[in-house]
Structure 1
Amino acid sequence: MSEQKPLRVLFVCHGNICRSPAAEGAFKHLIQEREMLSRFVVDSAGTSSFHIGERPHPDTRRAAREKGVTLDSLARQFEVEDFDKFDWIFAMDHKNLSDLLSMATNDADRKKVVLFRTFDPQRESDPIPDVPDPYYGGFAGFQDVQRIVMRTAENILDFVLSGKTTVPK
C-alpha cells in the first residue's frame, strides 16, 4: 500500500508578516489538534519582497499566542514555482488574489488560487470579504485577524480534505 501524498496548502498576503502567517499558524494548529500534521505541507508567503527573512509581526505573534497558536515561520516572497509546489493557494484579500492570478501561467494554476474568506462562516455579514490588514492599526486589529483565520481554517480544512475541486460561491 502506497503512502498518501500530503496536501500542500499556501496562504498569501502582501508582506507575509501579519495575515498569511496568522492563517498558516491557525491551520497548522488545527491539523495538529486533529493529529493530521503528516498529511499536510503548510506554508505562507507574501506577494512583495518587503519583509523577506523576518519573523511575523510582534502583534501577530501575540494575538496568535492568546489563542494557543505558535507562529514560527519566516517571511518569504511568493514565487511562480509555488504554483507547482502547492495544491491550494489562499489569498488574504482581493489585491493579493489579483496579483497571484496575474502570475499564473495557465488555468490549472488559476484554479488553485482562492480568496481566503470564501470559506469564512461569517463572510455574509461583512461587505468586504478581505482579511483586513492590521499592520497600521492597533492590537485589536491583529486580534480580529486571528479570530477570522481561526474560524476560517476549519472550513478550509474540511474543504481540502473533501477532495472537492470546485470552490463554493
Structure 2
Amino acid sequence: MGDVKKVLFVCLGNICRSPIAEAVFLHLIKQRGVSEQWEVDSAALGGWHVGSLPDRRARQTLAKHSVDYDNTARQIHPNDFVEYDYIFGMDLNNISALNSEAKDVKNSKAKILLLGDSDPQGERIIRDPYYDDDSKGFEQCYQQCMRCCNAFLDQNQ
C-alpha cells in the first residue's frame, strides 16, 4: 500500500461549497473502498464561521443524498500547504488567495487546483450558493462536486 494522499477543499467561509466537496469526496472513497488511501478535510479562507456547522441548506442537500457529514468549519493554516498534497479552491478568487498564501510558506508542497477543472461538463467555477433564496444552488453545487470528485478520483487511483 502506498502513502496516504491528503486533500483539502477550500472556499471562502467553509460552510457551503468546501464542506459539500469534502463530504462528497469522503462518500466516494468509502463507496470505492479506498478510504485508507486518503485523508480529507476542508477549510475557509476567512475566519467568520470557525467552529460552525455547514449552512443548513448544505446539510439538507447532503442528507437528501444520504451523504454523512459531521465536520465543522476551520480556517486554513500555513501548515496546510506543507501537509496536504492537493488543495482545491472553488473559484478563481479562492485560487488567487491560496496561491498568495502559499508563497509565504516555506516548503509548501500542495498542488493548488481549481476543483471545477476536473468537471467533465466543463463547469470550472463552483458558484457560491450562500446568498441563494432556496436550495437549488446547493443541489447544483452538490452535483458539480460529485462530478469533479469522481473524475479526480478516476485520474488518481
**Match among 56, 68, 77 for residue 79 of structure 1:** 77
Give the aligned partner of residue 164 of structure 1.
Answer: none
Q: Which runs of 4+ in 1 moved over 3 A?
A: 106-111
Q: What are structure 2's unaligned runs of at least 5 residues? A: none
How big is each residue's C-alpha offset from its partner over 1:132-151, in whole Å with a ceiling of 9 and x where there is no partner?
A: 10001021111110111111
- Tell me how large the CA RMSD over aligned residues is: 1.7
Is the contact made by 1:56 and 1:71 (CA closer than 8 Å) also made in structure 2? no
TM-score under structure 2 length normalisation: 0.93
Give the aligned partner of residue 151 of structure 2.
Answer: 155
1:119 aligns with 2:118: yes
Give the count of matched residue pairs.
155
**Match among 126, 132, 136 for residue 131 of structure 2:** 136
How big is each residue's C-alpha offset from its partner over 1:6-44, in whole Å with a ceiling of 9 and x where there is no partner?
A: 110000000000000000000000000011111110000
How big is each residue's C-alpha offset from its partner over 1:69-102, in whole Å with a ceiling of 9 and x where there is no partner?
A: 1121110001111011100001011001000000
Give the aligned partner of residue 56 of structure 1.
Answer: 54
Map of 1:2-151 to 2, 5 A cutoff?
4-105=2-103, 109=108, 112-123=111-122, 126=123, 129-137=124-132, 138-151=134-147
Aligned letter for 1:97?
A: I
Structure 1 residues 160 and 54, CA gap change in structure 2 (3 angstroms): same
Q: CA deviation at 1:108?
A: 7.1
How big is each residue's C-alpha offset from its partner over 1:106-158, in whole Å with a ceiling of 9 and x where there is no partner?
A: 797476100110000111xx4xx210100010211111101111111101112
TM-score under structure 1 length normalisation: 0.86
